[in-house]
Amino acid sequence: MDELMEPAGKDISASALCNAALGDLSGRVTVPVYDRGRMTPGILHIGVGNFHRAHLAWYVHRLMQRGDASDWAIIGAGVMEHDHMMRRRLLAQDCLTTLIELDPDGGQAAEIIGPMLDYLPVEADNAALIRAMADPAIRIVSMTITEGGYYINTDTGGLDTAHPDIRHDAENPARPRTAFGAMVAALRHRRDTNAGPFTGLCCDNLQGNGAILRQTVVGLARLADPDLADWIDSHCSFPNSMVDCIVPATGPMETQLARTIGIDDAAPVTHENFRQWVIEDDFCAGRPDWNLVGAEFSDQVHQHEARKIRILNGGHQILANIGELMGLDTISQAMENPTIHSLFSKVQTAEILPHVPRMPGLTATAYLAMIDRRFANPAIVDTIRRVAFDGSARHVGFLLPSVRDGLAAGTPVSGLALVEALWARMCAGKREDGSRIEANDPMWDMLTAAATTARHTPLAWLQMTRIYGDLANNPRFADAFADWLASLWQDGVEATVHRYIDSPPTS
């Protein structure tokens, strides 16, 4: 989730962001040229964080700037407690957002985007959300709710039907607790009124994210209404997609940056000068022509997302856990550290790249070099804490597939075992200097307890089967993990990592 901090004191020289101020602001930054009063909704997005506003919303905005897609405006929604704050902030500024692009050479470019029409009330029973999604005008329901939000049973890969939220929604279909329960309720109404289906578009970093969204929605529907589940499965579409843009969280520095260019924005967004979106062209109720503004419709989404998730997202986890242990603040600082950068490069080259699918054009090696440059961008203040958040989902999705492929292929996994040991060491809750690491995972209590036990019994960490499955039973990986974790506690992070860096690759 994007973590917002309360903005610092206002700069009296800055104009408060709102529709009425766009004329004055047009002399300072690019502003919408389309008539926002003539927009009509076509997309409902759940999880209006920074990434959504720098990515999907930007693509819609770019189409509107061309004079297109006025009937694809976005209605924002949320189901979490922290969504109340974002709603208040965005409604106060007419759902406008300042995007600030930061390039590695110190340049910056700002624009104000306005494809969002409204932000629904955040309610315990999701009544407003259900009503909005039941409206035939909504043809796409998209979401960014974090990788860990899809109720996946890590033992089976299927829907976690035992989860209390899923049980609640199955038993109370008219008063659902989750976004997925709300989708099921809205689709029931659409079926019963012949309003037709909508497309469910996942924008989270999950391999096969559309298939996972289908599994969650259809699986939840099946628990209460098998006929509805069959209708959803047959009529709705859930395209897979690959999304990419590094978008830090917003804090006082970002709000002040907006003020330096004359905009008082309570929730500005900074982002890197790179953006990519590859999507399956499978939309049951129509779609915007995002390909006209840089997105790519492709039947090779799986290959794109496998490369991105393993190299970029997996690379983020390699950096974040050791960066936290060493007391660093940002990803670019981690890349500047010779020990961490050497770890990143060796694990990627020896243990991740061999399992990345080959694609026309950019090789895996060239793609890694591009990611290296992007991570090193000092203008992007992407915090270690943000990237390390929700490791219990991110390690499962981003790193462990490379471990399993390496074990199956007989290629090295020792560095990946070290990365997992660094995560276990981090979850013990203390940095190398003895300072406390605050809770940073929905399963933090479980992780901390396992990490504490693993200090003396390393395999206790791998025996968290909901994360590692049967990997504790594989001696090649388990023995390497146990050796590295023991070394981290006895010899420290630097000495242990250098032992890996200086050793020849082994299987």
Task: Provide the pLDDT confidence category of residue 360 given band limits of 50, 70 and 90.
Answer: confident
Task: Provide the pLDDT confidence category of residue 506 given band limits of 50, 70 and 90.
Answer: low
Task: Provide the pLDDT confidence category of residue 2 given band limits of 50, 70 and 90.
Answer: very low
% of the chain at pLDDT higher than 70:
97
Q: pLDDT at position 4, please?
A: 39
Q: 415 — alpha (psi -120 to 50), left (phi > 0) or beta?
A: alpha
Question: SS in 3 state form for 291-307?
Answer: HHHCCEECCCHHHHHHH
Task: Select from 303, 301, 279, 305 the least CA-distant residue to 290.
Answer: 279
Question: Among the CATH numbers 3.90.1650.10, 3.10.580.10, 3.40.50.720, 1.20.1300.10, which is that of 15-299?
Answer: 3.40.50.720
Q: Where are the domains of the chain?
A: 15-299, 306-501
Q: pLDDT at position 17, please?
A: 97
Q: Classify strands 276-279 and 296-297 as parallel, antiparallel or unpaired.
A: parallel
Pairwise CA distance, residues 428 & 444, whole Å: 10
Torsion of CA 74, 44, 40, 118, to 10 degrees: -60
Helix, strand, coil content of the chain in percent (nearest 5): 50, 10, 40
Q: CB–CB of 33/68 below 8 Å?
A: no
Q: For residue 168, what is the enclosing H or E element?
A: helix 164-171
* 317: CB partners within 8 A, 6+ apart: 387, 388, 391, 394, 395, 398, 399, 419, 423
Instruction: State the residue for tokens 């009296």.
Output: 12
Task: Give me 408's structure tokens.
Answer: 């199956």
Give the range among 174-178, 236-240, 359-363 with minimum mean pLDDT: 359-363
Q: What would the mean pLDDT of 261-280 be, rounded to a whole number?
A: 96
Q: pLDDT at position 118, please?
A: 98
Task: Give me 109's structure tokens.
Answer: 């470019």
CATH class of the region 306-501 = mainly alpha
**What 3-state DSSP class applies to 116?**
strand
